[in-house]
Structure formats: C-alpha cells, structure tokens
Structure 1
Amino acid sequence: MKTLHLWSACLLLTACAGAPPTPRAAPGVKLYAIHCGRVELGDSGFMADDGSMKGVPAETVVPCYLIRHPKGDLLWDSGLSESIADLPDGMRPQGQPVHFEVKKKLTASLGELGLAPADVEFVSFSHLHFDHAGNANLFAGSTWLVDAEERDAAFSEQAVQRGEVPHYSALEHAKTVRIEGDAPYDVFGDGAVTIHQAPGHTPGHTVLLVKTAKSGAVLLTGDLWPLPQSRERQLVPVYNFNREQTLESMKRVEALARDSNARVIREHVPEDFAALPAFPAPLE
C-alpha cells in the first residue's frame, strides 16, 4: 500500500511505534485550531485532474493545529511562512492567479498560550509542501515525527533541484522519529493521538486522529481533500505524487473515520475550520 517515491519528511520519540490500542479519550487533551494563512485562487483547475475545476475560483484556509496532551505538546502542520505577515499585501507570485496572505504570525498565536516554538515537544506535518510546513524551521528544537518515505524524499537531490528544501531545511539534523511501515503511530502511547498513513498526495502524506474527552474524535486530513468538492467527488489534484495511492488513501481514511466515529476536518476548507472553536478556545 505504501510503495512510493518523492516529495517530503522524519523523527525519534519516547512514545511507542506500532499498532496503537483502540483510540480513546485522554483526560486533558485539547486541540487548538490556529489560523496560519489564507490562499485565494483565481483558478483552481489544478486541484482536479478531471478538468472539472478549470476556471473555478476558490478561497482556502491554511491552518496549524496544536494538540496539548498531559505528556506534551504536538504541533501538526505549521502553515504558510509567517514572514508573509510582514508584506503589506501578502504575496502574489508573478504570472500566477494566486494570493497568499498571513494576518497573524504563528509565534504570536503560540504566545497567547504562553508558548514559544522551543516549548513544543513534538512537531509533525501531513506533508512538507510549503503551505503546511512554512514555519517548520522554527521547530528544529522539537522532536520531528515523520513518515520515513516523506523524510527521504524531503532531502533528495530532486527536492533540492526543485528548490523545495529551504522552508524545512533546519529539520535535517533535528531529533527525528522515522515512522516506518503502514501501522498507525501512537504519539503519546495511550491511543489518544495517532498518525495514520495516507500516501498519494506526496510519498509519505499522513493524517492525524485526535480523541478528546468531551467532543470525541477529530480527523485532520491534510491535503487528502483540499476543496469542498474534493471529498464527495474524489477529486485528485493534477500534481499529486500518485493518483492510485490517493484514491486508495481516500478509502482508508473514510474507513478510519467510520471506525473511530470521527469528525472529518478537510484542512483547507474554510467551513470545516470555522466550525472548530475560535482560537484561543480549544476543542476538548
């Protein structure tokens, strides 16, 4: 199921790898949804290889998620680079119908919780595209939890040639836990926070299942379904690493959502993000 080749990620931790126990609520687990950017697309055609989104504009949110557990903190995805917040009109790449915007820096949001990047024990990314790992270099002192194939692709010669490495380069020598194989990775050893393989968008794309005591399970799905239409219509972006793996991962994640009775969060979809408690209030 996981025979792939290129794009991004890696790590070494005190928790245990391998198949976790059935996810259950862990007292004190809190999930914070942090707004880490916005992307306005004049044409979202590249988000569907069947041509159905050609010429269709789209607005997406770029989130970061902080999971606070009695045994430590995990940052899941780090959003667009907070340096974009210093640009008066955000970033508009020349010749491309896209606008990137960051209104508030991730470090400022963490500061509201009394945290600095150095205080975050663990960092992990659904994948290493720049809109998910734009602030990765701030967390070089954290333990990096990463799919082994994503890690290998991240620092490959091809990634260097494509100019993909700078936004996560500081992680190359970070304390790293490499997640090998297809089994879920139990971050804190109690089944409350688990990383699951969902390759296809990139070689080692992953999703995160978080079980809270009051609100139940939440499934953060990275770029598996980047548009509101993506899940229902099983749309596959034209730039995905492997189309067949993407479709198989969609099936596996749907099954995981059913089995865990999880609320599915399509990370870039504004209504899914807005349905979570507004920061700094947590879901718990």
Structure 2
Amino acid sequence: MRLPTSLTQCLLTGAAAALLAACAPPAETPSAEAPLPAAETADAAAPALYVDVLDCGTIAISDLDAFSSAGDYAGQADEFTNTCYLINHPNGRLLWDLGLPSQLVGLPPFTQQIFTVSVERSITDQLADLGVVPSELTYVSISHAHFDHIGQADQVQGATWLVNQTEYDYMFPADGSPPADPSLAANFALFQAMDKQIISDGHDVFGDGSVVIFQTPGHTPGHSSLQLTLPETGPVLLTGDLYHRTESRELGRVPRFNTSEENTLASMAAFEARATDLGAKVVIQHEPADIEPLGGAIR
C-alpha cells in the first residue's frame, strides 16, 4: 500500500528521524563463514519447510475510497494487519516483506489523513522469540516498495536482497531521476547498501520448487507474490498487495493509487488461475480474517 507522501515524510523526519538515529538497533554482523552449497548443507534430519508469521504493524483506515477505483468503498472503514513472513527452509531463511518502521514501537498510534498506523514489536524482537538473529537470514525480498512493506530494512542488512529488475528500477531509476516516491529515498538507500540479486519471474529461491517468487505487476510496476509448498498445508500463495481485503479479491477491486489498473487486472487473472491449478490456500497479507486463523505459523 502506498501511504500519503505527507505521512511518510512525517514519519521519516522530525521526531521519527531522531528516533531512527537514537533508537535503531545495532546492525547485526553477518557471519564471516560463506554458506555451503545446498548439496552440502542439506541434511536428512533437517526440519521441513515452515513459515513463521510476524506482526509488522496495524493500519486503520477511516475511508477506504482509495482502495477501489469502482467507487464502492467510499465512506467505509477497516483495519488492516501488516504481516511479514519468515520462510524457514533446510537450506536457508527468507524474510518476505519488512512492515512498518520499528521507530513506531512504543509510540501511540500515528494518524495522518485517512491512515492510523502503529507497531507493537520490531522484527528483530520477534525473530529473537524464535531463536533467530537477523544475521541468520539468507535472503530478504519485498512484495513491493511501498512504505508499509519496507519499514525495517535497517534490521536485515546482512541478508541478500532478492528483487526483480522492474521493481529495482522503480526504486532506483536508471537515468538517475528521483524514485517514484521521493519521500522514501532514505528507506530505499538502506536497500541499495545491501547485497542484491536481480531475479527473473518465477524465481525458485532454494532450487527445489518449494519457495517461488512470481511477478504480479500493477500495484507497483514490479509487484510480486510468493508461492510456497508446505508439508502439511500444501500450496500457499501470499498475495503481497495484489489484494488488500477479501472483498477486493471477490470483486476484483483495484486501488486508485495502483500504477496500472490494466496490469493489476491481468495479474489478478493470472494469480487466480495459478491458485486454481495448484489448489492453493490464498493468504491476503492485510486481511485479519486470513491471518488470525494461522496462529502465527504455516506448516
């Protein structure tokens, strides 16, 4: 979701900027030991693929009109979850999406225009509960470069960033012009400092088909979704922001602020065909009705 420029500027300047300087957790030191090839790290006793669901903030919206170009959401209110996902594979870990800024932790909910945002705990704190430190992350990937999906990049600097060329160019235009949302330049700079791997559509993260990043453009030019194949649940598709609500999926509603309605509708059609072909469980990442039954994990 693309929050208003005034909101992002307010959170990245003034008191929030001071918090960033004073309160940001110390950077984790990446392991000096190079990862072994998959064939050497795979272990018959290694745990099967599983996913930990992290709470990366809450977004209350007083008027949903911006979330449907059809005009049928005007005057409605809703509250979105903001989730991140730790994908635990025998050969590494992928963190999918980075939520709202951890500088909001401990602060009262922040309201700007139609949005009220809050964060209870940082990604680093939640990883600690799972016995994981950020330096143990192999990869980080974001569904797209909007404010509520990139907020804690400061905590994952030791991981390799997986990104398609289209979304990378959206963040860092090749001609040197400002990014699509200049107010996020400071956040984007944290990604530019990371090791990165440019990936193609249908990127098989661990080489065995169990974790696949596929492009669903339209919300942003290089927006992506995630396909998982889990031992108990089977195929699972994480939507990113292809959909924000159950109704958005049922009605095919496109937010007014998407970069392309035509591309979004085409992505929705391709996504639904994939879900049908796989018999997949679909998880809308901002939809509490999809998140709460997971109980913090997908197996």
Q: Which has the higher contact order (CA 8 A, sep 6+)?
A: 1
Structure 2 residue matching 1:203: 3-state secondary structure: coil
* Structure with a larger share of its residues in helix: 2
Aligned residue number for residue 146 of structure 2: 129
1:75 to 95, 99, 104: 95
1:112 to 129, 132, 140: 129
Deviation readout 1:108-158 (Å, 9 max, x if unpaired): 100011222222110001001011111123222211111111001112323
Map 1:1-284 to 2 at 5 A. Answer: 28-87=48-107, 89-93=108-112, 96-156=113-173, 157-159=177-179, 162-180=182-200, 183-278=201-296, 282-284=297-299
Corresponding letter in the other structure for 1:113: L
Corresponding letter in the other structure for 2:109: G
TM-score normalized with structure 1 length: 0.85
Structure 2 residue matching 1:238: 3-state secondary structure: coil
For residues 133 and 158 of structure 2, the distance between their equivalents in structure 1, rounded to whole angstroms, comes to: 11
Say if 2:170 and 2:180, in contact at 8 Å, map to a contact too.
no
Structure 1 residue matching 2:105: 3-state secondary structure: helix
Aligned residue number for residue 43 of structure 2: none
- Give 1:14 deviation, angstroms: 9.6
Runs of 4+ in 1 over 4 A off after TM superposition: 13-16
Gaps of 5+ in 1: 1-12, 17-25
- Give 1:268 deviation, angstroms: 0.4
Corresponding letter in the other structure for 2:169: D
Corresponding letter in the other structure for 2:125: A
Corresponding letter in the other structure for 1:215: T
- Give 1:170 deviation, angstroms: 1.4
Gaps of 5+ in 2: 1-34, 39-45
TM-score normalized with structure 2 length: 0.81
Say if 1:137 and 1:169, in contact at 8 Å, map to a contact too.
no
- Give 1:160 deviation, angstroms: 6.9
Structure 1 residue matching 2:111: 3-state secondary structure: coil
- Give 1:271 deviation, angstroms: 0.6
